[in-house]
A and B are shown apart, each in its own frame.
Chain A
Amino acid sequence: MVGAWPVPRWIRSLQRRPKPVLFDALTLQLGYNATLVTIGATLLGMAAGVGGTFLFLRKRALVSDAISHATLPGIGLAFIIMVALGGDGRSLIGLLGGAAVSAGLGLLCVSWLSTRTRLAEDAAIGAVLSVFFGFGVVVLTIIQTMNAGRQAGLEGFLLGSTAGMLRSDAAILAGAAALTLALVLLLRRPLTLAAFDPEYATASGQNVTRNDLAMMGIVLAVTVVGLKIVGLILIVALLIIPPVTARFWTERTDHVVLISGIAGGVSGYVGAAISAAIPDVPTGPIIVLVGFALFALSLLLAPRRGVMSSFLRHRSFQRRVHLRQGLLAMAQSQPIYEGLTLRLLRRADLVRPDGVPTNSGQARAAKAMLDEARWSIVRGDQSYEAAAALYDGLTDIETLLTPDQITEIDGRLAAPSEVPA
């Protein structure tokens, strides 16, 4: 029965291949082109990680999807124009230039539709990405009917293809990626400010429109440079996954930027190296999958924001709430309706299996009641405002007030309550 499953060729190739190849790739020893591509992918990943953070913090991550899909007609039209001018149409700079122009046009359409009509930005993004892509497909089919178009290889821009790349192209890519990274680092400060708090940025004299434009410029640059390495469908992953990954580890904007840059760089580096080491593995998908692996680890394991720790925290929180409510109900001789509350009380030996409160249960209930009375004084007294603001019904009063303060409050509890004037 196992035989019915075709063993994919790449698994067999992994089995055959000696391991050192991947090691060679990771240490940049697989030849000049592969090294340039790996360096380029690393720099690009860093630039995308940093640039994508601003997009993510502005909650506009998928704008990049519209931009990247909108490059397709530009690539095709640039090819046609270059052929019409007598070239062979395959100049990388020319094709990337065309991509940039039509992506910029797509971006304009998105912002025009979402500001000048009643359509929301997500509809504008979806419309632009699908229509531009559809038109791009039309242009590609025109190219296929051209004599020069048969070996155009423009399909490589869909999914990225770095195999068999010209040496000059590899150099251009590495250089462009380095430039993009430099641009991102240069604009980091104003963009952080604008992403974190647009209103404050305006108030402090920042030109938000210009910052937004700069942000989109970076996204555009990352997209265009990434076309050949990752491909236009997957380049958005490079802009989205690293910032989301980074967000799990920190609450600080500048740290998100830093971690995202590192995550993007690692994805680009490891992905490009694996792709260089194993034949016929397309670069783009591997980079994306490495990035996703980092994301999945963060989602599960990150302290504080990770799934594991929030699950554990939520459960212990829920138990504290139920226990406390149960104690208060006990102290006031009120019935307890919820099964979970009763189970928790029994398990903590505060209530006997038959439901009667134990001695320690009565003591804890009395203490909970006393604390409630103390809190109500704290909350009614302006001099305790700072402590009252922290009140959440669960925090132990001893952790927020000094013993002296508690003694003072207890004194008031004992005395007949006085009405504040």
Chain B
Amino acid sequence: MTGSEFVPLSLPPSLIGICVAVACALPGNFLVLRRQALIGDAISHVVLPGIVVAFLISGVVAKLPMLLGAAGAAVVAVAAIELIRRLGKIEPGAAMGVVFTTMFAGGVLLLEKSDTSSVHLDVEHALFGNLESLIWLDATGWSSVFDIDALAGLPVELPRMAITLIGVALFIAIFWRPLKISTFDEGFARTMGMRTGPLGLALVIVSAIAAVAAFDAVGSIIVIAMFICPPAAARLMTNRLETQVAWSVAFAILAAISGYMIAGYGPLWIGFHGSVSAAGMIATMSGVILGIAAVKGPHRQRAT
């Protein structure tokens, strides 16, 4: 594989994959520890209705309205789950199930029955993403990485995902102590004056932003794998939160790179032509990593 082939075709998608994986894995650590792993599931399902409604309102297939629509849908979903849970005194899992299936159903119905079929907006794209298509046509080789003109032609998803990653990482870094204390012991955190309610909501919203920014690159369902698998595998490797987060980032990067490479070149290695879904393969690899950690991880079992 030469630079002239790798840089335009494989470098941007792998970098995007890495940014997605890490941006989701970071908040995922706290979601998993808070027994809220499935919030990621709920959020990623409601991305679809969000972009459909955004399209129906704005009338254009543009990134910004869609991102806003998806983020709005995530907030609506979280609020609705909380509302149904409290008002109806229903356990969180069931409340989530009610909300995200209903919103997803509404999204599918709107999509199928409105004029969106004429544009490139379909259920499968929202579900699976299309990481492979995010190529960098202006690049000619490694030298392009330093070429301002060529850099301007980078797929817009790459800087967007990089900014998202930086934002997510900053949030986690700044609120590290309150997040850690309130995740471990919410009552104690409150007596220290921490606003645990808003903090928990902020964590969910940051997760939603990561999921929304990632959905059109890797698809909405597969984002869930990045929320859960790297942190879950990391939990089985260590008994310290700081180390766990480091492991989760490493696992996320490993899953992204190995998944992308196997999807692109794996079929060739075993004598087939073509390639398979990179996003799907990244999720699969994260599952493989989790499987290995579950069997071999040094801290895979509870202490007692």
Contacts and interface: CB of A to CB of B under 8 A. Distances in A.
B200 interface: no
B121 interface: no
A132 B283 CA distance: 8
A264 to B, nearest CB: 13
A281 B93 contact: no
Given A130-B224, A159-B123, A59 B115 contact: no
A237 B294 contact: no
A158 B98 contact: no
Interface stretch (A117-125, A337-345, A347-355, A380-388): A117-125
Contacts of A125: 37-38, 41
A41 interface: no
Contacts of B98: 237, 240-241, 244, 292, 295
B281 interface: yes
Interface in A1-54: 4-6, 8-10
B112 A280 contact: yes
A234 B104 contact: yes
Nearest to B280: A137
B235 A119 contact: yes
A62 B280 contact: no
B93 A131 contact: no
Interface stretch (A139-147, A185-193, A210-218): A139-147
B277 A69 contact: no
B114 A10 contact: yes
A289 B102 contact: yes
A60 interface: yes
Interface residues of A, number: 69
A357 interface: no
B109 A131 contact: no
B105 A118 contact: no
Contact of B37 (A6, A123, A138): A123
Contacts of A282: 108-109, 112
A8 B115 CA distance: 6
A123 B283 CA distance: 15
Interface string B101-119: 1101110111011110000
A262 B231 CA distance: 41
A299 B236 contact: no
Nearest to A144: B274
A132 B272 CA distance: 23
B279 to A, nearest CB: 7
A159 B106 CA distance: 12
Nearest to A135: B284
Contacts of A133: 221-222, 283
A305 interface: yes
Contact of A126 (B219, B227, B272, B297): B227
Interface stretch (B83-91, B136-144, B175-183, B190-198): B83-91
A22 B58 CA distance: 32
B96 interface: yes
Identify the interface centre among B38, B101, B222: most chain A CB within 10 Å of its CB.
B101
B247 to A, nearest CB: 14
A237 B105 contact: yes
Contacts of B227: 126, 130
Contacts of B274: 145
A65 B284 contact: no
B201 interface: no
A123 B178 CA distance: 22
Contacts of A280: 112-113
Identify the interface centre among B114, B115, B286, B294: most chain A CB within 10 Å of its CB.
B294
B56 A5 contact: yes
A180 B66 CA distance: 41
B105 A289 contact: yes
A247 B94 CA distance: 12
Given A130-B221, A137-B222, A240-B101, A61 B91 contact: yes
A112 B294 CA distance: 10
Contacts of A123: 32, 37, 228, 232
Contact of A288 (B101, B225, B235): B101
B279 A122 contact: no
B301 A117 contact: yes
Contacts of B280: 134-138, 140-141
Contact of B124 (A155, A237, A295, A307): A155
Contact of B59 (A5, A56, A122, A129): A5
A284 interface: yes
B3 to A, nearest CB: 27
B37 A122 contact: yes
Given A6-B114, A65-B41, A134-B222, A289 B106 contact: yes
Contacts of B109: 281-282, 285-286, 289
Contacts of B228: 123, 126-127, 130
B88 A135 contact: no
A252 interface: no
B104 A233 contact: yes
Interface in B54-101: 56, 59, 84, 87-91, 93-98, 101
Interface in A99-132: 112-113, 116-120, 122-127, 129-132
Contacts of B277: 137-138, 140-141
Contacts of A243: 94
Contacts of B240: none
Contact of B281 (A8, A127, A134): A134
A162 to B, nearest CB: 13
26 contacts: A6-B115, A62-B96, A69-B221, A116-B294, A117-B297, A118-B302, A120-B32, A123-B228, A126-B38, A126-B224, A126-B228, A130-B283, A133-B283, A134-B279, A137-B127, A142-B276, A145-B272, A145-B273, A155-B124, A233-B127, A234-B105, A244-B97, A282-B108, A288-B104, A288-B105, A295-B98
Interface of B: 32, 35-38, 40-41, 45, 56, 59, 84, 87-91, 93-98, 101-102, 104-106, 108-110, 112-115, 123-124, 127-128, 219, 221-225, 227-229, 232, 235-236, 263, 267, 272-277, 279-284, 286-287, 290, 294, 297, 299-302
Given A127-B232, A280-B113, A285-B106, 18 more contacts: A5-B56, A6-B114, A59-B91, A60-B93, A62-B38, A62-B41, A127-B287, A133-B283, A134-B221, A134-B281, A134-B282, A138-B280, A145-B272, A281-B109, A284-B108, A285-B108, A289-B105, A299-B88
